[in-house]
A = this chain, B = another copy of it.
């Protein structure tokens, strides 16, 4: 069996790719700008040129078993990207076929959060777990659900959108999906910044380190730094965020009774600022039969490698799209 897979993580800004071995070691990696090409064919051409250069430089020609791709709104079943607002090309995009045809290799694609879940199961904190839920806390809130050792894709390939569970039924914040009150509008990095702005506006007379910067420029990192410097308002932003996330995790538990939730992404690195209120709210809101059962773990994948690793793990299950054998 060929010893390597190629992992490709397509983000709105950068596309990162890497050659990965069966133990999850990233042998070499590279990147291109996702939005540089307005035509998807030109993008695929550059991706092929750069990835091939990397493969040749590492003597990995004829050693790539398959390609795994993590991309926004990517559908595992049909290899298409549908309705991805963060990518510069019109949907639907037959991504798996385009890459497979160009590289002459089998390709499997899924969305970024599912790729992260597969990576965590193959190489990270979920090794040995058959039932867990990956929650990615980044610009948005993504999720990858694993039940009985298999990623949940649902009947149409789009299952696992737990960032869009409604946590505020009335007067909720507007979400990027067009509805209101979604988890993502509160417990993402963007949500933390929104909460900080709300708190600052509502509590006009309360001093805060966050008043030293223009309110519209506040980021979740600013809120974190202020909280670590003892700022009361900033600490309460994390309490608010952690409480909503803990309530949501308790609700998710009644669905699939996972052994663990695995948190990933920038916000997951907020330490006890986030984790203490999260654990308290989760425990307080947990249905008795599940009390104390699901663990909350942090991702064990290195941030720099995680996206590529997760995507690459999918490469091991890639099958040729057509019945004809792959050229390579």
Contact = CB atoms under 8 A, between A and B. Distances in A.
Interface of A: 73, 82-83, 129-131, 145, 147-148, 150, 152-162, 164-169, 177-179, 247, 250-252, 254-259, 285, 287-290, 293
- Copies of the chain in the assembly: 2
Contacts of A256: 145, 152, 154, 159-160, 255
A73 to B, nearest CB: 8
Contact of A164 (B82, B156, B254): B254
A318 to B, nearest CB: 19
A122 to B, nearest CB: 18
Q: Which of A145, A154, A177 has the most CB of B within 10 A?
A: A154
A131 B155 contact: yes
Contact of A155 (B159, B178, B258): B258
B288 A178 contact: yes
A229 B94 CA distance: 55
Contacts of A178: 288
A154 to B, nearest CB: 3
Contacts of A160: 254-257
Contacts of A129: 155
A285 B180 CA distance: 9
Nearest to A167: B169
Nearest to A163: B254
A169 B247 contact: yes
B252 A164 contact: no
A232 B245 CA distance: 39
25 contacts: A73-B289, A83-B289, A131-B155, A147-B154, A148-B152, A148-B153, A152-B255, A154-B258, A157-B257, A158-B289, A159-B257, A160-B254, A160-B256, A161-B254, A161-B287, A162-B254, A164-B254, A165-B255, A166-B251, A168-B169, A169-B247, A177-B287, A177-B288, A177-B289, A179-B285
Contact of A152 (B147, B161, B293): B147
Contacts of A155: 129-131, 257-259, 293
Contacts of A164: 254, 287
A166 to B, nearest CB: 6
Contact of A257 (B83, B154, B250, B288): B154
A257 B130 contact: no
A179 to B, nearest CB: 7
Given A161-B287, A165-B251, A257 B177 contact: no
Contacts of A152: 147-148, 255-256
Nearest to A73: B289
Given A179-B287, A293-B156, A166 B259 contact: no
A20 B223 CA distance: 63
